[in-house]
A and B are shown apart, each in its own frame.
Chain A
Amino acid sequence: MTALPQRTDRKLGLVIDLDTCVGCHACVVSCKGWNTENYGAPLSDIDAYGAQPVGTFLNRVHSYEIQPQEGGCSQTVHFPKSCLHCEDAPCVTVCPTGASYKRAEDGIVLVNEDACIGCGLCAWACPYGARELDQAAGVMKKCTLCVDRIYNENLPEDDRVPACVRTCPAGARHFGDLGDPESAVSQLVARRGGFDLMPEQGTKPVNKYLPPRPKDRLAAPPALAPIPDRDASGFFAWLDRALEKI
């Protein structure tokens, strides 16, 4: 089971637009909300109201400051990160029990929690920090791409996307089949130059990130340049001459 499928019929995944993400963490909250009460064990919080709260999340937003190489203003980039559902997922092959698997039909990487012994090896193998061992249940938790929403015919059609995509107020998250070059997400990636995270690890992530556009550079003269001399008249002309003579 932990052998990776030769190929998957579809490559479902996310496209995350770093240009439009505003870093509101709504995707983090909606992800936790949906996934704590649906697929598998709840996403526990330990010492939630104490001094050292720790909890399990499947999606987290980092914020970075970039100083462009060519100078100019620095830029803040909000960076949501969850499982990238890699084609060559190292987390799957290391699993000793067969709990971790990649689905041949749509490429989603899932954990069968009934078979997970909580050894943590898959989290070690993941370069992206996409897997977290739940401290209460002792099983590995990860993004399911909301597998219990996207095929769920009990939900209105609008809602059959991952919770993070549905909730994003900035439209920074897109869901679709990245294996189909005609799909909206594939075209978005092609148009905007979508890229992989840590490509040197050879994981071939399905999820893509769209780069932030560089900030505008101001063309106007610097605001604090000296005010040019102008011809004075009247009282100021007299004062000017008088001061010159001292």
Chain B
Amino acid sequence: MHPAPSVIIFTVLSGAGFGYLAFLGLGLAATGWLAFWQFALAFAMAVGGLVSSTFHLGNPQRALLAFTQWRTSWLSREGWAAVASLLLMAAYAIGAIFFAKVLRPLGLAGATISIGTVFITSMIYAQMKTVPRWNSWLTPVYFIACALSAGSLLSGLRGPACLFLVALGVVQIICWMSGDGRFANRGHDMNSATGLSGRIRLFESPHSGTNYLMQEFGFEVARRHAAKLRVICIALISAIPALILLAGNYPALTGPAFVLHLTGTFVSRWLFFAEAGHVVQLFYGRQTA
């Protein structure tokens, strides 16, 4: 799949933003000016990500229509969940910042829906039977692990943050290991795609140039680079931030640890898209083996 920057920025920033909002909602928010900066960061990431997601739309002026199909579409549900959690957390934030009042039930509801939003975002990808690498219950686990890691890290909870970062590293590795063979394991090959028997090769492409399908689904990442990027990803997303937290209680290091973690999440998400193969590639001669 084409690793579109707008969608990578959307899933990474919104995931971290809603993860942080969830921890703030659990009662970890301060009051007054400190709370203002905490919520400003969380909202900037969550809303910034959502705004970025509209950049890949062909006709963003009609984006409000995306709220209509919540009964069937995960993308539509995502719109509702995102707006609901942002509104609840905004009310909670106003209480904490201006009235020094932490409204517990409101915060808990906001936290639940914030994590729910991350789950719904992940289902947009996990539902795609056409992309076997994503089509697994591991995809929501991976997205939620990213959100919880970022949220706990920013909240300065050293213990839980270490736990979530290590768990995220493990989940990430399991995702790669089980995802690598899923395309072939599902039985998708050129024979099932075309219904023809025998050994098939693409003799002539339908068009001499490229097209939307090849640009969107034909992205292939060199395996050599993928292996290197996976090592870099694990180091940044999990290992180094966890080691920084384990080194001792240095609040000044929270920022750098988060920046490293977020950079690792960008690498991870780039791989999430770049390594994902779409079954339509079979019609264009991709061999599964």
Contact = CB atoms under 8 A, between A and B. Distances in A.
Interface of A: 1-3, 18, 23, 28, 52-57, 60-69, 75-77, 79, 81, 90, 92-99, 115-121, 123-129, 132-135, 137-140, 195-202, 209, 211-212
Contact of B58 (A64, A118, A198): A118
Interface stretch (B17-25, B103-111, B144-152, B201-209): B201-209
Contacts of A135: 212
Given A62-B283, A64-B196, A115 B65 contact: yes
B135 to A, nearest CB: 11
18 contacts: A2-B69, A54-B215, A62-B206, A96-B67, A97-B68, A98-B68, A115-B65, A117-B59, A117-B60, A117-B65, A118-B57, A118-B59, A120-B58, A124-B278, A138-B57, A138-B59, A195-B195, A211-B195
B66 A117 contact: yes
Contacts of A127: 129-130, 193, 279-280
Interface residues on B, range: 35 or more
Contact of B131 (A63, A94, A124, A132): A124
B193 A197 contact: yes
Given A95-B73, A196-B195, A121 B124 contact: yes
Contacts, number: 188
B251 interface: no
Given A62-B283, A64-B202, A129-B280, A98 B69 contact: yes
Nearest to B125: A124
B224 interface: no
Nearest to B195: A195
A133 B188 CA distance: 25
A98 B193 CA distance: 28
A116 B203 contact: no
B72 A129 contact: no
B187 interface: yes
Nearest to B279: A127
Leading 10 A-B pairs by shortest Cβ distance: A118-B58, A138-B58, A60-B206, A97-B65, A63-B204, A96-B76, A129-B280, A96-B75, A96-B66, A65-B203
Nearest to A59: B206
B206 A64 contact: no
Contacts of A53: 209
A28 B60 CA distance: 31
A123 B205 contact: no
A200 B192 contact: yes
